[in-house]
Amino acid sequence: MACVADGRPTESGRRMIDAVAKGARTPEEVAKVTGLPLFRVRGGLRELAAAGLVLETADGYQVP
């Protein structure tokens, strides 16, 4: 399931961005907050980062 469509986040993408904005930094933390499977979160965060909607840092992810 895609997290970005037409350059905009899908529902699951928005949930991940919201979790990161509220302080979840790692895929494991985002999965716990959102209730999404870890494999989906890992792929989703990579997709969101490629679209510039989240930033990957040494400490995890953050909202730009």
For residue range 40-52, list pLDDT tens digits in order: 999 999 999 999 9
Measuring CA to CA, how many Å separate 45 from each of 29, 40, 64? 12, 8, 13
Is residue 62 within 8 A of residue 54, CB to CB? The reply is yes
Domain boundaries defined on the chain: 4-53
Q: Do strands 55-57 and 60-62 pair parallel, antiparallel, or not at all (unpaired)?
A: antiparallel
Residue range 10-33, pLDDT digits in tens = 999 999 999 999 999 999 999 999
Residue 1, pLDDT > 70, answer no
In this model, does residue 3 exceed pLDDT 90? no
